[in-house]
Structure 1
Amino acid sequence: MTVDPWRITGQQQIDSYVERHVQRAVLLVNELAVERAYGRQVVPPATGPDRQAAVQEALATAGLPASESLTPADADRLAAVATQLRPAFRTGSQPVIEELNRLLVRHAAVPNLHGRPDGPPVLAFHRAEAGLVDAWTADAGTALAMVIGVGQGERLRSCEAANCERAFFDTTRNASRRFCGLSCQNRAKASTYRQRRAAGTAAGEGGPPPGR
């Protein structure tokens, strides 16, 4: 007898759940740990209140729920977390994997069902009593580990445009995305065009004179 592979009915919801936590990791890295973006140098916010404001604004822009409990002190700790998460968007090398494992241990990542009085229990990757920084880090770190662990680590990318190192999660079907957004894609295309045009001009100047 042949047994068909088991399929999870709610697979789309599970994928969306993991993606939401990956996007939070992307947001933290881009707001608190990136020094080059969209072709120019940027200075990440350096104080708790500025970091807090940057994260809240980015959450709103991304359509993610704001956090009423995020404090400046939390934001300072999240800046350190963002620096630790950033290498995951560059390479899946063993040192990156080991650091991610250490991060999960430090922030007590553990699958946990959180009860709700108004609905079914909710899956999280942190204990119910965890503070905001541990909760966010455990959830984001576990989501990144899940992406890497199922062989999709190449989808955790950094922008390939010049002078941009913003992180992103590539959700295209064939994992072909190279840039953090349209502006960097257009900059890269324009740069490639200028380089080809300059190369063509130089080749023409070095060639034989036109015949009579």
Structure 2
Amino acid sequence: MLFAHDTECSLIATAALVNTGGSDGEGLPDVAALDEYYVTHAYSGRHEHTQAELEAVRGLRPRLRRIWDADVDEVVAIVNGLLRENDALPQLITHDDEPYHFHAVPRDAPLATRIAVEAAMAIADLVRGGELSRLRICDHPDCDNVLVDLSRNRSRRFCEAGCGNRAAVSAYRARKAAAQR
């Protein structure tokens, strides 16, 4: 583990949220999809299961997506803005058999608020550690998804959407075609 468990979980959840708004269409089409995101990324606390909550979470995506393209000063401005706007007050918390980790807003805060603050706190850890280069765009030419490279050797190139497999198949076919000439 390169970062604290809650940091890694928040980074992965943030990338997944950003990727739901990609060019492949709406990845959070309804409240049921938000429910699945909530469960998949082990969020806890308040979850209203409403269209308004869904819209608030969708509304975070453009701002979070900018982090992957921004320089460190803009990232810091985004992070500080998210923390300030949501009245973040970091505290160590334990719940649901989880070890101590940071929460910066109450568990009954709106889901979009909790997602924004958890993302900001995780990105802040990357900034503090000089590790923003771990935030990348997928290397596949037909993909604009984001990813978080948590590998020790910083070698991850492709997102979770199967782009690594597509690249490998394309390379294999190219080698096979070249060998048949």
* Structure 1 residue aligned with 2:68: 89
* Structure 1 residue aligned with 2:54: 75
- SS of 1:74's partner is helix
Aligned partners of 2:22 and 2:145 also within 8 Å: yes
- For residues 29-68 of structure 1, what are the alpha-carbon distances to aligned partners after superposition, in whole Å with 9 as ceiling and x for unaligned? 112x211xxxxxx21158xxx34222222344x4635774
Aligned partners of 1:22 and 1:143 also within 8 Å: yes
Please give the alpha-carbon distance, in whole angstroms, between the structure 2 residues aligned to 1:167 and 1:17. 19
Of 17, 21, 26 in structure 2, the residue corresponding to residue 28 of structure 1 is: 17
Query: Percent identity over the alignment?
Result: 27
Please give the alpha-carbon distance, in whole angstroms, between the structure 1 residues aligned to 2:49 and 2:161. 31
Structure with bigger gyration radius: 1
Please give the alpha-carbon distance, in whole angstroms, between the structure 2 residues aligned to 1:109 and 1:120. 20
Structure 1 moving runs of 4+ over 6 Å:
118-121, 195-198
Give RMSD over aligned pairs.
Answer: 3.4
Deviation at 1:173, TM superposition (A): 0.7
**Structure 2 stretches lacking a partner, 5+ long:** none
Work out the number of aligned pairs and report it. Answer: 178
* Structure 2 residue aligned with 1:151: 130
**TM-score normalised by L of structure 1:** 0.67
Deviation at 1:131, TM superposition (A): 2.5
Aligned partners of 1:157 and 1:170 also within 8 Å: yes
**Structure 1 stretches lacking a partner, 5+ long:** 1-11, 36-41, 205-212
Judged with a 3 Å threshold, the aligned counterparts in structure 2 of structure 1 residues 113 and 13 are, in CA distance, closer, same or farther, namely farther
Judged with a 3 Å threshold, the aligned counterparts in structure 2 of structure 1 residues 147 and 56 are, in CA distance, closer, same or farther, namely same
Correspondences of 1:119-158 after superposition (within 5 Å): 123-127=102-106, 130-158=109-137
- SS of 2:102's partner is strand
Aligned partners of 1:162 and 1:188 also within 8 Å: no
Correspondences of 1:40-189 after superposition (within 5 Å): 42-44=24-26, 50-60=29-39, 62=40, 64-65=42-43, 68-114=47-93, 123-127=102-106, 130-181=109-160, 183-189=162-168
Deviates more, 1:65-74 or 1:103-112: 65-74
Deviates more, 1:105-114 or 1:138-147: 105-114
Judged with a 3 Å threshold, the aligned counterparts in structure 2 of structure 1 residues 53 and 121 are, in CA distance, closer, same or farther, namely same
- SS of 2:48's partner is coil
- SS of 2:83's partner is helix
Please give the alpha-carbon distance, in whole angstroms, between the structure 2 residues aligned to 1:129 and 1:63. 17
Amino acid at match of 1:44: E
Please give the alpha-carbon distance, in whole angstroms, between the structure 1 residues aligned to 2:160 and 2:108. 37
Deviation at 1:175, TM superposition (A): 0.9
